[in-house]
Structure 1
C-alpha cells in the first residue's frame, strides 16, 4: 500500500528542486528526506530521481508520479477546506466548467438553482473549450461541465452526460437592421447579414441545413466561438443573431433586439457532464432538477 507520508516527502523534494533546499523549507534533516524517498522507490520498484551533476532531476516515471502527487495533495487541501467550510458555515466551492458556445444567459439560468441551496455554495466558473474542460473534469478540477452536446464517444474521458433540456432557436436583430429587412419571415433573411456560431457549436449544422432547406442565401458576415461576443456584434447592428428562444425575452428587453422569427425544427440541447452516473453533488442535482422544472425544458 502506498505510504502517503513518503509520497509527501517526495513531493516536497521535487517541488523544492533538491533535498537540501527541501530540508531547509520543511525543517527535516536531509538524511531523513533521502531515506524516505529511497524507501518509497524501493516499495514502488522504480527510480524517481537520477543524478545530474551534483544535483537530482526527476526521471520520466518521477514526473508521472509528481503529477499524481500534485493532484492527491490538491484534493487533500480541498477536502480540508470543505470540512472547515462546513464547520464554520463558510460557502463550499462549486467548480463549474462552461463551454464557450453556451450562451451566458443560459448558463445563468441553469446555475441559478444552485445559489438557493440551504448549504451556501461559492460558484467558481471556468469558461473554455469543451475538450479542455472535459480534461479538467477527468482529473476532478471541475465538479461539472455545462455544454451544448453530450460527451463525445471517442473522448478518452470517463464521464456521463445528463440532458437538462432544450430550446428552440430564434433570430434576432438590432431595430435599425430589422427595419431594413423586407418581406415576411423567413424570406427577410435572404441576402441579409447573418452571424453564425463557430464550428464547435452543435447548433451550427442544423441551422445551416434549415437555411438551405428554406432556399435562403444570407450573407454570413461573422462566425464566433464565444456566444457573448456574437451577441455584442448583433446589438451593434452588425448582423442577425441566432439564439436560444428561451432567453429571447431577455435579449429583446436588455439587449434591445427585435425577434424576427424561429427556425422551426431547430433546437439546442444543454447537458451537465459529470464523472457520476447518478448525480450526488447537491449543486449539480439542483441544476438538473431546476432545469427540468422550467418551462420549455424537457
Structure 2
C-alpha cells in the first residue's frame, strides 16, 4: 500500500503555531519548521527577551534586579512568528499596548535594555531594533506587515511626534542604567540561548491533536482543570548561569505542556531531551540544562 503524502512543512508548522500561511511560510527553513533557525543575533535577543518576560510579580530576581521585569507582555493574546532574521508577534488587537510592555517609555521605569523603536504607523505595526544584539523585532496586527523602511517613509508627522515622545528611537544610545543591566546578565552557553529562545518562539504553540497547549502563558485553550500547584498569585522566575538555568512558574502552562513543546518530535528543539530531575524535569541540550520547577516560586 503506498504511503500517504507528507504534509508540507508550512502546514505542519501552522498546525502547531497558529500562524496563517503567510507567517508560516516567512519563517520556514529549507528542511525544517524554522522555529529555532535564526541568526546568532536573533538567538541572543530572544534569550534576553525570555529573561524579561519570564521574571516578575515579586520574585527574588525582580526585587534584586528590577530591570528584568516585563511579564505583563504575556497577558496579551498573540501568535509568535519567528523568522530567520526577525522575531514577529502578531496580535488581533492592541500591538501598541503589548509593545509598550517591553520598551522603556516616559511613564515606566522598566523596559528591555537597548530596545528602540525604528518605525510605526502608530496603531497596526511597530518595528524595533535591539541595540545590544542588532536584532530586529516587529509587533503587528497582520502577518503581511510592511517593512520598516516602508512604514518609516509613510509615517505621519503627528504620529511620529507622539511615538518618539513616548518611546526611545533608534539613534538614542544605551544609557548607563541599560549598560549596567546588560552587564548583570549572567553568561549563557549557546545551548541555553537556544532553549531560552525556544520559549519565546513557542509562546503560542499548541498540539494539533489537542493534548497540550502553551496558551500564551496566561490560560489553557484546552479548558482542563487547574494543574496541581497552581498559584493564587502569578509568579515567574528565570535565572542561572553558564550551562545551568532554572525556570520557575506557578500558573499556566502545565509542566507537561512545556516539556512537550520543547522536546516532542516535530515541534521540539532538535537534540533536546526531557529528563526527570530531582522531583522536577529538565530539558537537556548538549551539556546544558534548563531545569523546570512548577509550583511555589520564591
- TM-score, normalised to structure 1, is 0.22
Greater fraction helix: 1
- TM-score, normalised to structure 2, is 0.22
Greater fraction strand: 1
